[in-house]
Structure 1
């Protein structure tokens, strides 16, 4: 009887403790201890019990267990495994894990004879890419929610002693608690969220994002017009791993499912797992050379369609990158009705390292959730013209709207970040830091509707002006959404000549970016180094104001212009100009060259001309910054500019009738694993007889500073052409060579190579115009230039090579002149340096 009772009691206890399904419920979240980012697909389980769970895309897990245990573990490849005590028998527990990143550790690798079994699966991915890749779709669109956060991280004890940190100590303590016992402190400085729609057209390729509502909080955020377009996220973080290279920040990272997957990665095939109803192969991938621009991580591939269902790809500090601790992209894809897969959720993280010891780093986190996909239903082409559209009431606060608009509710950390920003942004010391940062990044000091600057042009020192001082300003959208005013005044302490510029523009349409304006200026310029030749390189233009200042002349100019984007990517600009040329160097030209030495000469001229310019930049996208727009394109498709000018003699004082045509093409492109190249092709032709400065003076460089658009071994104004064609080619091997050299590879140097070729000539009529008249003995000016002609059968050629990324910012190049070695007093070899900031 006692035996039966004991057996019955034991059976009852078994049923109570071990067979009550769902009796023990454990919930929690697994995050990166360093940056707080969720870790999707981490393994969570009870120690000693063969039951567990995996985290979802938000890093959250729910574990229902019929077994009782006293500890719980969390693990993921690339992180240290963590074990935590739990309360045995408790029905409901909340347990969070913060995992410390570590080196790649494979617990066990089984090597079989023959081919790696992962290779067969990867070939299936490549074979089925055409039907799974979103590029097969003629168009798609979806509703999108985006959240972005900018934090200060890597906070040292020394940094905590600074005044700004002491002023927010109370708020920091709250954030330290939410980071968890194993987490590192991060301080949010900006957080935003937006809802809208994203549209894509494949042919011709167009992107458009509409922002319905934005909710922005940030330290120092004053004008939301620019930020409200950036918070959408799909324009900048719409990554496609089916492409051979995934590009961001001007770099190209080889995809683990790209064409050269076998040459870049090592693969480890794991178990099959269920991902949202899809049975998937789980596969780890490691770079063969960690210093190359490649990823490491995990991906999940559907066993039937061989589609990429989810990927977790990271770039760590070992890669040949600057200022980066870590980059991570996590993406979850969803199959559409057409069979192609679109990104349902994406996380992007970039962790910037501390610039100096004792400082802090920066952390950018972005989360994008997409739903309600519509495919192969394109809109009319004009619908995509405006890349970004922001609703007029997008930034108006509406708490009720956000309760239902978010795809997922805000986390506790998000709510705490918002509260911390509110308490910090009005501190005086914080506002001072913000104003300094604005000045450094934009070059302008903002005063509500007027901005003063740019500061890089405020002072210069040269032999003609002495100390040059300049004060400039511009209005922004707070002043007026359509009227734009710009101007500056300046003078030199040596010449004491006042210089000035005034400009007024009117913005008719943002959709076609239609602008008209008037401008008048009087200033000192340099032959071949004028703003219209240098372009938008304001930093280089400011440098040309320093030093010997050869080839200088005073110019008075008036301009009326009109510009509009006729067709997406095609912009037309027309203008009418009048300019004077009053040289400060030995310069004369013959008024009647056919008379030879008997001709009268003149040392100045006036020109009046009309210009029509066409610029074609296919797929170029912009964001609006008030009444300015900023390009997001990386020029990976040729940008072509065609310009025609016609001069009018006798109209507004013009001295010449002439015609001039110029063509310019610029492109940057990838050459597989060999790195990235860029070229600039230019050509010009004028059939008219003109003084040398009105022809095509080729840009030489007699300094030790490298300038991409100049010929590094050519002297200033050494050659002038009335017809020419040139190509300037540069290639950066992106560490391909140095990454494989012991010891040197730790320096993260990058080998670069260049080559420039120029063909040109001058007709005899133009040579006669300048012959024997540029060396007058009574001239008060010391410098003079030959303005010689190139031999039409002999190109000017030079080659260069060097090292980029020295101390992360310096580039040193050597150039060799290959032709015209006996022309004048040439520099056959020149060593040059430049400052080059890049990731």
Structure 2
């Protein structure tokens, strides 16, 4: 008898299953169809396109890369591809086989962007009894339950990649001598895609992080576990500032926020609380083959110039009214400068509790001076979120500390780590960018180009360990010095990362005097003193001229552009200033500083220091000697800036900046003649007001304790140049007002075209309306009034009027301006409202301001 072994039994089972499977397949073969859907005109892939077997409900949508994959065991021999605004395509398929069918959709010229059905009488769009508006109101009503902040706890992994390239480059540019041996740097793509045919990758950064959220007490923390960045020579570029600047431009897009920050502006979200007042909504499709079923909701701005999106979103029909996906673009007429195209795709993933969280966002923006042609800059930011966990609390220590921290050795991860940790794979061009940029910086012609660019933009010419500049101070003129020549420079980190030196020498042809400056700085954290966070000690000495009350930075006092002034400007000071300063900054943007300042000031030009001796005899005082100890506390939460060669350029945001200064004059210390205390405080903040634009507000107050001559009082910042200055009084004369106690407010509101966009003849110019108002309250107490104390220095007089203390009436001025002229120019008509009886006080003035804005 034959034995039935286990192996024989297993083989018999396998044979039986194969026989049954073969029989089943022969009766019900599976048809599998996959492929990519593109726009026939632009050749771009198309997400969220409906692909189904014809005359059935079996199908699905393309993903964010335009790919689809559908299957059926039924005998359907056609697929149907449809998308609003495009002609529906039907293709034959082979039943029972796997096949790839790529489809290019053709735009339906008879369709309208706003999906309006034309009849003999055009129907007016209205919110009343509009099912699309009712739907969006449900989405708005359910916002709170569909955001991360609705959970008590949440955490997730996040990958970010930001890539920036020079875009739409011509063959002439590509074939320049500088790139002769480096053609591998260029990236070729389809010419109809965003960015154009030829691109030159210039920057990329990647981050991997774990993010933690706690509802009560509120905490949101990002732990960056790995980071990688293209880095340029620090003599030319602030790499840290570059990262900050790009990340500010390409911010996270949270469609559930009322306003979405984009390019230093705020665009109203299509699901903002009052979005039906600014958008038109249309139900353009119902996707019943999805689980849950989805409604495709298209939207377009009522005013195409407004800071609004257009596009479509997919809303779940499961009672959550959550956004499952969204495609956002902007109208070509939008009030955004230099933006050729913008596209953002958002994808949301379902949680275990049935709600949705953002799983991927992809933001692409192409910039150019010319909207249609010429080279530009293309940037793309991809964010992928996974491992989303809710209501799983961590220890308190996890949520405490700064909002963003870097793990140890986060910058030291090797290529193997990144290949294993990225959620996707970099294409060949992107994978080589880090190495390619390093190679590019070794090319002599590239170094020369960067050297010239640094001279033109920052004003410094680099010579390795030392750089000469700034160039705009080499030549200037004023009534006291006449023609003034100046030459200076400073050391670079190539000399030392611990020691820094800065110096200049200047000479005036009229007063025939030499001026000079020298400083030595020691970095306490072995980092460049021009990088954040700073921690240094500096000693400096300056012998130079100065306009009383004008606290300009040393390196800018002889700026050529400041030479042009209105009215008389011949009351100056000669200064000898020795300073010893200590500055300490923290990662949370809290900083403090201590200082010692020995200051000798003497009158120059027509300015005179005079008091009255007993008997009414006028006495000329040659020099005022002061020694001052000071402390400063500054807190700028979430502050962002670009560290330039001269100063930090702030990147505007909604967070306030607090500054508190204290100065103590010490009589007898190093020859000081006066005891006094001076306390000043300042709060500055930008307020975003959605479609009404934004407002910059600065409030300041000060009080001086003690008995001092007028040069030591608070001499309020006046402006006699033709440039509009945000935080100076543009129709106040130099040294016109002094105080020993004061309060001020400055308000500058930019409507961002909210009003002009409603005027047919103006909206095409994309001008922006601006209003500005400044007020100053203050006065001089009796103890510091020279009219009551003969020993005090008398307030000076001059051709443009004298020096006064503020009375019960505040100084006030306001202006109306037009901005965005040629995209860079702002012109203000300024009116002075008070103290018009002062000699030389102008009532009106026109001022100019040059600024690049998006």
Normalising by the smaller structure, the TM-score range is 0.7 to 0.9
Secondary structure of the residue aligned to 1:816 is strand
Q: Are positions 1:664 and 2:673 aligned together?
A: no
Q: Are positions 1:759 and 2:773 aligned together?
A: no
Tell me by how many angstroms 1:650 deviates.
Answer: 0.8
Q: Are positions 1:186 and 2:199 aligned together?
A: yes
| Between 372-381 and 621-630, the greater mean CA deviation after superposition | 621-630
Check 1:82–1:241 CA distance in 2 against 1; reply closer, same or farther (3 A cut): same
| Between 228-237 and 297-306, the greater mean CA deviation after superposition | 228-237
Structure 2 counterpart of 1:608, from 621, 627, 631: 627
1:669-723 CA deviation, whole Å, 9 max, x = no partner?
0234322111111112113222222111122222322111121221221111111
TM norm structure 1: 0.82
Q: Are positions 1:823 and 2:830 aligned together?
A: no
Q: What are the residue-to-residue correspondences of 1:89-168 with 2, within 5 Å?
A: 91-93=98-100, 95=102, 105-106=113-114, 109=117, 115-136=129-150, 140-156=154-170, 159=173, 162-163=176-177
Figure out how many residues of one structure are paired with residues of the other and give that number: 807
Q: What are the residue-to-residue correspondences of 1:18-37 with 2, within 5 Å?
A: 20-23=29-32, 25-28=33-36, 30=38
Partner of 2:426: 410
Secondary structure of the residue aligned to 1:257 is coil
Q: Within 2, Cα distance between the matches of 1:493 and 1:367?
A: 56
Q: Within 2, Cα distance between the matches of 1:604 and 1:745?
A: 58
Tell me by how many angstroms 1:566 deviates.
Answer: 7.5
Check 1:623–1:214 CA distance in 2 against 1; reply closer, same or farther (3 A cut): farther
Q: What are the residue-to-residue correspondences of 1:674-713 with 2, within 5 Å?
A: 674-713=692-731
Q: Which runs of no fewer than 5 residues in structure 2 stay unpaired?
A: 1-23
1:450-496 CA deviation, whole Å, 9 max, x = no partner?
655444445434441623223222434x6666x25241222125235
Q: Are positions 1:262 and 2:262 aligned together?
A: no
Q: Are positions 1:790 and 2:819 aligned together?
A: no
Q: Within 1, Cα distance between the matches of 2:436 and 2:350?
A: 39
Secondary structure of the residue aligned to 1:739 is helix
Q: Within 1, Cα distance between the matches of 2:604 and 2:60?
A: 79
RMSD: 4.6
Q: Within 2, Cα distance between the matches of 1:831 and 1:741?
A: 24
Would you say the 8 A contact 1:760–1:795 is kept in 2? yes
| Between 60-69 and 737-746, the greater mean CA deviation after superposition | 60-69
Check 1:833–1:663 CA distance in 2 against 1; reply closer, same or farther (3 A cut): same
Tell me by how many angstroms 1:47 deviates.
Answer: 9.4
Tell me by how many angstroms 1:752 deviates.
Answer: 0.7
Partner of 1:61: 68
Tell me by how many angstroms 1:128 deviates.
Answer: 2.3
1:159-186 CA deviation, whole Å, 9 max, x = no partner?
56755577666776x7247989997443
Secondary structure of the residue aligned to 2:365 is strand
Partner of 2:298: 284
| Between 383-392 and 633-642, the greater mean CA deviation after superposition | 383-392
| Between 53-62 and 753-762, the greater mean CA deviation after superposition | 53-62
Partner of 2:755: 737
Structure 2 counterpart of 1:311, from 326, 329, 336: 326
Q: Are positions 1:370 and 2:390 aligned together?
A: no
Tell me by how many angstroms 1:133 deviates.
Answer: 2.4
Would you say the 8 A contact 1:141–1:198 is kept in 2? yes
Q: Within 1, Cα distance between the matches of 2:536 and 2:290?
A: 55
1:557-609 CA deviation, whole Å, 9 max, x = no partner?
23333344589454332222212213313344456x68473474413212111
| Between 248-257 and 443-452, the greater mean CA deviation after superposition | 443-452
Check 1:728–1:229 CA distance in 2 against 1; reply closer, same or farther (3 A cut): closer
Would you say the 8 A contact 1:692–1:787 is kept in 2? no
1:67-93 CA deviation, whole Å, 9 max, x = no partner?
89899968576xx77989999899544
Q: Within 2, Cα distance between the matches of 1:537 and 1:125?
A: 55
Would you say the 8 A contact 1:43–1:76 is kept in 2? no
1:348-398 CA deviation, whole Å, 9 max, x = no partner?
1111024599740110111111222355547549953374526436256x3
Tell me by how many angstroms 1:252 deviates.
Answer: 1.0
| Between 365-374 and 565-574, the greater mean CA deviation after superposition | 565-574
Q: Within 2, Cα distance between the matches of 1:448 and 1:253?
A: 44
Tell me by how many angstroms 1:748 deviates.
Answer: 0.3
Secondary structure of the residue aligned to 1:686 is strand
Tell me by how many angstroms 1:751 deviates.
Answer: 0.8
Q: Within 2, Cα distance between the matches of 1:581 and 1:772?
A: 13
Structure 1 counterpart of 2:606, from 557, 561, 586: 586
Would you say the 8 A contact 2:549–2:735 is kept in 1? no
Structure 2 counterpart of 1:504, from 521, 525, 539: 521
Q: Within 1, Cα distance between the matches of 2:630 and 2:827?
A: 39
Q: Within 1, Cα distance between the matches of 2:283 and 2:701?
A: 54
Secondary structure of the residue aligned to 2:809 is coil
Q: Are positions 1:195 and 2:208 aligned together?
A: yes
TM norm structure 2: 0.81
Secondary structure of the residue aligned to 1:332 is strand
| Between 377-386 and 660-669, the greater mean CA deviation after superposition | 377-386
Q: Within 1, Cα distance between the matches of 2:360 and 2:352?
A: 18
Tell me by how many angstroms 1:812 deviates.
Answer: 0.9
Structure 2 counterpart of 1:719, from 711, 729, 737: 737
Tell me by how many angstroms 1:192 deviates.
Answer: 3.7
Q: Within 1, Cα distance between the matches of 2:576 and 2:195?
A: 67
Q: Within 2, Cα distance between the matches of 1:149 and 1:336?
A: 30
Would you say the 8 A contact 1:588–1:604 is kept in 2? no
Tell me by how many angstroms 1:251 deviates.
Answer: 0.7
| Between 225-234 and 489-498, the greater mean CA deviation after superposition | 225-234
Partner of 1:814: 829
1:593-652 CA deviation, whole Å, 9 max, x = no partner?
6847347441321211111222233x3245898999979763423322122211001101
Q: Within 2, Cα distance between the matches of 1:95 and 1:418?
A: 34
Check 1:378–1:473 CA distance in 2 against 1; reply closer, same or farther (3 A cut): farther
Q: Are positions 1:353 and 2:368 aligned together?
A: yes
Partner of 1:597: 616
Secondary structure of the residue aligned to 2:68 is strand
Would you say the 8 A contact 2:368–2:374 is kept in 1? no
Would you say the 8 A contact 2:364–2:378 is kept in 1? yes
Would you say the 8 A contact 1:669–1:676 is kept in 2? yes
Secondary structure of the residue aligned to 1:131 is helix
Q: Within 2, Cα distance between the matches of 1:680 and 1:432?
A: 42
Check 1:446–1:56 CA distance in 2 against 1; reply closer, same or farther (3 A cut): farther
Tell me by how many angstroms 1:668 deviates.
Answer: 1.1
Tell me by how many angstroms 1:266 deviates.
Answer: 0.6
Q: Are positions 1:485 and 2:500 aligned together?
A: yes
Q: Within 1, Cα distance between the matches of 2:600 and 2:147?
A: 58
Would you say the 8 A contact 1:150–1:364 is kept in 2? yes
Q: Within 2, Cα distance between the matches of 1:748 and 1:386?
A: 38
Tell me by how many angstroms 1:750 deviates.
Answer: 0.7
Would you say the 8 A contact 1:387–1:623 is kept in 2? no
Would you say the 8 A contact 1:501–1:520 is kept in 2? yes
Check 1:425–1:509 CA distance in 2 against 1; reply closer, same or farther (3 A cut): closer
Q: Within 2, Cα distance between the matches of 1:579 and 1:638?
A: 32
Would you say the 8 A contact 2:478–2:563 is kept in 1? yes
Q: Within 1, Cα distance between the matches of 2:640 and 2:196?
A: 39
| Between 657-666 and 321-330, the greater mean CA deviation after superposition | 321-330
Q: Within 2, Cα distance between the matches of 1:438 and 1:263?
A: 47
Would you say the 8 A contact 1:460–1:467 is kept in 2? yes
Q: Which runs of no fewer than 5 residues in structure 1 stay unpaired?
A: 1-14, 777-781
